[in-house]
Structure 1
Amino acid sequence: MGAPDLIAIDHDNYHAEHVGRTADGRQFFLTTPFEAATGGEQGNEFVALYLFDLKGRLLEARIDEFGPRAEMDRDRRRDCYEARLRELGEVTFTRIEVAPFAVEQFGTTFGLIARPGDDEDAAWWVELHPGNCMAFTEPWDSGEYDT
């Protein structure tokens, strides 16, 4: 038991709508992570494009910040999201297999972050941060996640 080397993410029509491969074989994951509001402060909204090599190692994280949900320009965020998707060129939406990772930008930790369970015998998890809107556990090759 322990953190996985790779996790599978199956393409779906929900949080994994834009996962797949580029024409040159790179894997990608386009998502809209967010910081939860805490202590009276509003969290920020983001667009994140993660690019991985053929073996699932992170190559690049392209992250754009849009400020708090209540104040952000939703059209601007949608336009950015669509532009990030277009910049990939021709893509195939399909299962990807990628390694957990973490990157720091805008004072926030982004990524698919592995963490042990809450007690010694509990399973490991890999969570999409910020926002923790996707959580993966064994079997790591299932392609399924909890929300």
Structure 2
Amino acid sequence: MEPGPPSRIAIDHDDYHAEHVGRTADGRQFFLTTPFEPAYGNDEGQEFVACYLFDTEGRFLEARIDTFGSRALMDREARRTAYEARLAELGEVTFTRIEVEPFSVDRFGTTFGLIPRAPEDDDDTWWVTLEPGDYMAFSPPWDSGEYDT
């Protein structure tokens, strides 16, 4: 079992969930993504666009988050436009590996971030999940840059 949560997590640029990770021209690190709250029962869930910014050392700076309501009712064109606008706000970027600290922020009644999860038993390990939606999960070694979906 790992002694505790990581101080930094590596995320490698890829063509899937980490398509838009990298650095801005001034060296800040960023992660642009589309978190969601899954629909359960009568709850229709929520869809979001989130741009997380970190300093050059990977310390969390801010979260820019837009909400689009339920997946069934959302305006997909508006979400795509907001996503592209968030990317454009960053200016000139380089898509590359980032190494950032876990963090969490509350917006729209939802917790967003890279959130450490303690082991549930002695045979388990620490995980860090991208929330909401738990669509990226990181485990040791924290510098691998790889994630589970």
Alignment of 1:1-147 (within 5 A): 1=2, 2-147=4-149
Offset of 1:39 from its aligned partner? 2.9
Shift of 1:121: 3.3
SS at match of 1:70: coil
Structure 1 letter corresponding to 2:122: E
Root-mean-square deviation (CA), in Å?
0.7
Cα distance in 2 for residues equivalent to 1:87 and 1:101: 22
| Structure 1, unaligned runs of 5 or more | none
What letter matches 1:29 in structure 2?
F
Quick one: percent identity of the two aligned structures?
A: 73
Could you tell me how far apart the structure 1 residues matched to 2:135 and 2:32 are? 14
Runs of 4+ in 1 over 2 A off after TM superposition: none
Could you tell me which runs of 5 or more consecutive residues in structure 2 were left unpaired when the two chains were aligned. Answer: none
Tell me the alpha carbon deviations over residues 18-58 of structure 1, each in whole angstroms, 9 at most, x when there is no partner. Answer: 00000000000000000011232110000000000011111
Question: Following the alignment from structure 1 to structure 2, what is the Cα–Cα distance between the partners of residues 120 and 86?
Answer: 45
Q: Residue type matched to 1:106 in 2?
A: F
Q: Residue 82 of structure 2 aligns to a residue in which SS?
A: helix
* Further displaced range: 136-145 or 111-120: 111-120
Shift of 1:119: 1.0
For residues 145 and 52 of structure 2, what CA distance do their matches in structure 1 show?
A: 17
> How many pairs does the alignment contain?
147
